[in-house]
Amino acid sequence: MATQGTADGKAGGTVLNTPLAAMHVAAGAKMGVWLGCEMPDDFGDAAAEYRCARETVALIDKNYRAYLSFAGPDRVRYLNAILTNNIKDLITDHGNVSLLLNPQGHILAEIETYAFADRLLCVSYAMIRERLIEGLDKYIIMDDVTLTDETERYGTLALEGPKAAAIVQELSGVDVTKFEDLSSHDRSVGSLPCRIVRRSPGGVPGAEFVTETTNLPTLWQFLSEAARKHGGGPIGYTALSGLRLSQGVPWFGYDFGEKQIPHEAGLQDSHISYTKGCYTGQEIVERVRSRGQVNRRRVELLFSGTGVPEPETPVTLDGKEVGYVTRAARAWDSNPPRVIGMGYVRKEANAPGTVLQWSGGTAAVVK
């Protein structure tokens, strides 16, 4: 069982399951809890899966997500007034990533918003679905907006790695290298209707395939065969966690959440518009922005010693505790593999090159 889960990883005390759990187990996968859902730890060899993602192509089950649809004439104004990014100027069939903050500026959710002709679709995390719906619904007061929970309807699979773009074009006719990230295109893979969304983790073009939940088993099999034909295959979350850390990508619920404000989490440049006007928590964001400094911030860490630090492991400088680890994993991009992670460190100790201590060795702040 994976040990990376958090308290946010359970909804109503029950771990959620990917619809493909039975298929994964039948294929020999070891299952764990990731992003609040039962997902594959690995399919037998996490190191090989990591190398597939870097060198060929990896297939990822991303069915930890929640899908909330907003219709009605006030939908754009409504979401623009509560999310941190600019929803008002979204082009049809494009998306962006925002935060939902509380009035104190703390992060309640990370949300991708996609604009379509007749609705806005917000994609977040199933592990916070119930309280997210409750939080969003309370802002619908005089607005003509209808919120529909479509989480049970949709699922997502993804291809990424150097060969992903070529496979996507081969299967669907979409050349994702010609489009912007978070742009979407309605196509079919085989006979299965999909919405193909360009994603470029680590700067390498790839794609998500969003489809009806009933299509997921057939689509998984189709994509798996294509990936294996090109020297890749499915990847579990043990390898994926290390891969995302090597790319500098923080995970909601692990590396940022309700304890943090955007500047502490390092999301001020990627998740926030400073020209869109008012939104919930803006006063705090602007105050921190004008001050130009926070007392602690998220950093990337390179560990030495034995083992992989657990979440919440303290880090010290000259015997004084100055922060803690949020997530750590092996990255099989060297021999022996590196142990890398993220954490929050106070400003007097978070400059790149600073060498901190943890219970098993050192933790160098890296950029």
Mean pLDDT value across residues 153-170: 98
Query: For residue 306, what pLDDT is reported?
Result: 84
HSE-CB at 107 with a 13 A cutoff on CA atoms is 25
- pLDDT tens digit sequence for 323-365: 999 999 999 999 999 999 999 999 999 999 999 999 999 999 9
Q: What is the pTM of this model?
A: 0.94
Average pLDDT for the chain? 94
User: Among residues 133, 142, 150, which one has the least CA distance to residue 78?
Assistant: 142
Query: For residue 367, what pLDDT is reported?
Result: 84
Mean pLDDT value across residues 278-288: 95
Torsion of CA 80, 247, 17, 192, to 10 degrees: 80
DSSP result, 229-285: HTT-EE--HHHHHHHHHHTT---BTTTBSTT--HHHHT-TTTS--SSS---TTHHHH
Report the 3 state secondary structure along 112-138: EEEEECCEEEEEEEHHHHHHHHHHHHC
Question: What stretches of the chain adopt beta strand conformation (E)?
Answer: 16-17, 30-34, 37-42, 58-61, 65-71, 95-101, 107-116, 119-125, 146-149, 154-160, 184-189, 192-199, 206-212, 233-234, 296-303, 314-317, 320-331, 338-346, 355-358, 361-366
Q: What residue type is assigned to position 310 of the chain?
A: E
- pLDDT tens digit sequence for 51-83: 999 999 999 999 999 999 999 999 999 999 999
Q: What residue type is assigned to position 121 of the chain?
A: L
- pLDDT tens digit sequence for 31-43: 999 999 999 999 9
Residue 242: pLDDT over 50: yes
H/E segment holding residue 220: helix 216-229
User: Among residues 181, 180, 178, 183, which one has the least CA distance to residue 195?
Assistant: 183
User: Among residues 293, 298, 277, 329, which one has the least CA distance to residue 46?
Assistant: 329
Query: For residue 292, what pLDDT is reported?
Result: 78
- pLDDT tens digit sequence for 9-25: 333 346 799 999 999 99
